[in-house]
Structure 1
């Protein structure tokens, strides 16, 4: 059964703006093309003095432009402090994220990977799974973790949790839309060979695709699926 075949409402939880495009922008675009409603929750925003307010506002505009290219139905900004989630009461984050997800009521939930080097990603992974606990007949029937260039492979695989994908989505028809969406993040695009370059995004999609004999794919770790 295809990951997208029975997914009508999809929620992607992004610790920071652009994680969702890097991690599953092609899957998002394909889901929209197949008639699903795609929603994004951006958990954090940069806050002074760590981040300049003008830059923060520019990134927000870039985010909305990227989501327009993909066809995202709604974008929710929770505005928790970027790079400071470890300073918050975890219950506050859990409640805010769970409330946002409850409003969406997704059948497919895509979240960052627990082994990402950024602590914000690890905290958001856990917060999303708090909401996704199968404690009633409601809740997402499928939860999967996406792969974020410059985060997922920069910790210490073998010592920390390694991203070993067991789920792939063919994005041959939507790779260019993913790249166009990422290019909307003019503040984030880097020249090759940086991992946040167009060349690196295309190379990873090609590699993940070749793994399953497709021209391009995005890879995920399946957390839970209820059929």
Structure 2
């Protein structure tokens, strides 16, 4: 049953001959599939990498592009192509799917690697959605392999990257502008280590992929409306943004009620109700105890105590219950 959730064997390579890699931002191609890229280089496969987004300012864009080229040199594939779509705006780029389809035809790729539609970043999800549409449009000529960066995906393939672990580490270290903000390399090393959980001890690091054909995309319904997850996450974010104000409104309403004249005037009645309820609960418990021990109810008395008898073994045990 466990095999349904995660593979228990790791592959040494992914399928396909010519490989295309789509990265939403400069560094995703290495963080998500740097080990796979190193394995493709070792196998001599044609590799085509595109970084889709550019940053809002030119200086940052140039810095990150230079880092991406440096990482490519470390691993050994050709410099990426940069499409320079606006960062954060991929969900609003309807022409993206057609551009991906044309690029896949041009490169003769039969395997495309892309961020998964379960990613937390909207650009990552939008790129996955556009790639799904492109792969389905190509009618079975290309397989798709989703990779993970910011959020684990449900994999059907684990790639053993133990031989390429050090190369991937060196390539990740090229992205100093991003590592200064967050130790992404540490997070990815932890993720790659976690992915060995179901694998033999000899596998020290693994990358997880969901590899699907166009037909499997159709069967899973991912082609029908791949934006469902994005829309649900957007709605959840909007609802979360409303929660603080809703809490403030509830607190104001509660404060108004507690400070109202009617609440103060009825306070003695509420306390009396609590006391009466508590007295009746005690009486009920005493009656239950009497019935359990099959003792007659006490007659009218001013006594504050009720004696109970219970046979334990051969001993007659007496106890006193406060009335």
TM-score (normalised: structure 1): 0.81
Mark the structure with the bigger radius of gyration.
2
Instruction: Give the aligned partner of residue 152 of structure 1.
Output: 151
Question: Hey, what's the Cα distance between the residues in 2 that align with 1:41 and 1:199?
Answer: 24
Q: CA deviation at 1:190?
A: 4.5
Which of 147, 153, 169 is 2:159 aligned to? 169
Instruction: Give the aligned partner of residue 160 of structure 1.
Output: none
Q: Quick one: structure 1 residues 202 and 6, their matched pair in 2 at CA, closer, same or farther if it must change by over 3 Å? A: closer
Instruction: Give the aligned partner of residue 65 of structure 1.
Output: 70
Q: CA deviation at 1:195?
A: 5.6
Q: Quick one: structure 1 residues 195 and 221, their matched pair in 2 at CA, closer, same or farther if it must change by over 3 Å? A: farther
Aligned residues: 204
C-alpha deviations, 1:117-147, integer Å up to 9, x for none?
111111111111122116546x21x311001
Secondary structure at 1:180 match in 2: helix
Q: Quick one: structure 1 residues 57 and 42, their matched pair in 2 at CA, closer, same or farther if it must change by over 3 Å? A: same
Secondary structure at 1:174 match in 2: helix
Question: Hey, what's the Cα distance between the residues in 2 that align with 1:190 and 1:166?
Answer: 33
Question: Hey, what's the Cα distance between the residues in 1 that align with 2:23 and 2:161?
Answer: 20
RMSD: 2.2
Instruction: Give the aligned partner of residue 120 of structure 1.
Output: 123
Question: Hey, what's the Cα distance between the residues in 1 that align with 2:11 and 2:208?
Answer: 14
Equivalent runs, 1:5-84 vs 2, <5 Å: 7-47=16-56, 52-84=57-89
Contact map agreement 1:17 1:59 (CA 8 A) in 2: yes
TM-score (normalised: structure 2): 0.58
Which of 90, 99, 116 is 1:85 aligned to? 90
Instruction: Give the aligned partner of residue 205 of structure 1.
Output: 192
Q: Quick one: structure 1 residues 225 and 175, their matched pair in 2 at CA, closer, same or farther if it must change by over 3 Å? A: farther
Contact map agreement 2:35 2:161 (CA 8 A) in 1: yes
Q: CA deviation at 1:87?
A: 3.1
Unaligned ranges ≥5, structure 2: 1-9, 216-323
Q: CA deviation at 1:6?
A: 5.1
Q: CA deviation at 1:74?
A: 4.9
